[in-house]
């Protein structure tokens, strides 16, 4: 079975009193951006603190083998442009098992 090429990006919010306000201000644009490229996204969602109460970042998984394309999609996100993320970590994801993989792939 051929596995889809995926890029996972974990974006952690920077410290700062203005982050929550920026997130709220740019949320509609962020969601519109996600909707515009949704066919290229395997999954996406907010990251929350351990209590599940506060958003502390974002996680996206792009459906492409081209890291530069995935970075361009992220760069076009209003959240990236307004600077709320302090760290951005990229990893190639090989989905091998679980419900989203349809069981196991080996």
pLDDT digits (tens, 9 = 90+) for 26-85: 999 999 999 999 999 999 999 999 999 999 999 999 999 999 999 999 999 999 999 999
Q: Using alpha carbons, select from 1, 7, 26, 19 the residue that is nearest to residue 67.
A: 7
Query: For the chain, which residues make up each domain, given as ranges?
Result: 6-101
Q: In a 3-state reduction of DSSP, which class is residue 50?
A: coil
Q: For residue 2, name the pLDDT band (cuts at 50, 70, 90).
A: low
Fold of 6-101: Alpha-Beta Plaits (3.30.70)
Average pLDDT along the chain: 95
pLDDT digits (tens, 9 = 90+) for 77-102: 999 999 999 999 999 999 999 998 88
Beta-bridge mates of residue 57: 12, 47
Q: For residue 4, give both structure tokens.
A: 């889809």
End-to-end CA distance of the chain: 8
């Amino acid at each position: 079975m051929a596995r889809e090429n995926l890029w996972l990006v974990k974006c952690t919010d920077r410290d700062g009193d203005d982050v929550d306000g920026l997130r709220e201000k740019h949320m509609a644009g962020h969601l519109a951006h996600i909707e515009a490229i949704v066919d290229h996204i395997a999954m996406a969602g907010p990251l929350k603190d351990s209590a599940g109460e506060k958003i502390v970042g974002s996680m996206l998984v792009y459906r492409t083998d081209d890291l530069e394309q995935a970075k361009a999609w992220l760069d076009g996100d209003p959240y990236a442009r307004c600077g709320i993320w302090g760290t951005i970590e990229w990893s190639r994801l090989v989905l091998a098992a679980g419900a989203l993989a349809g069981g196991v792939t080996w």
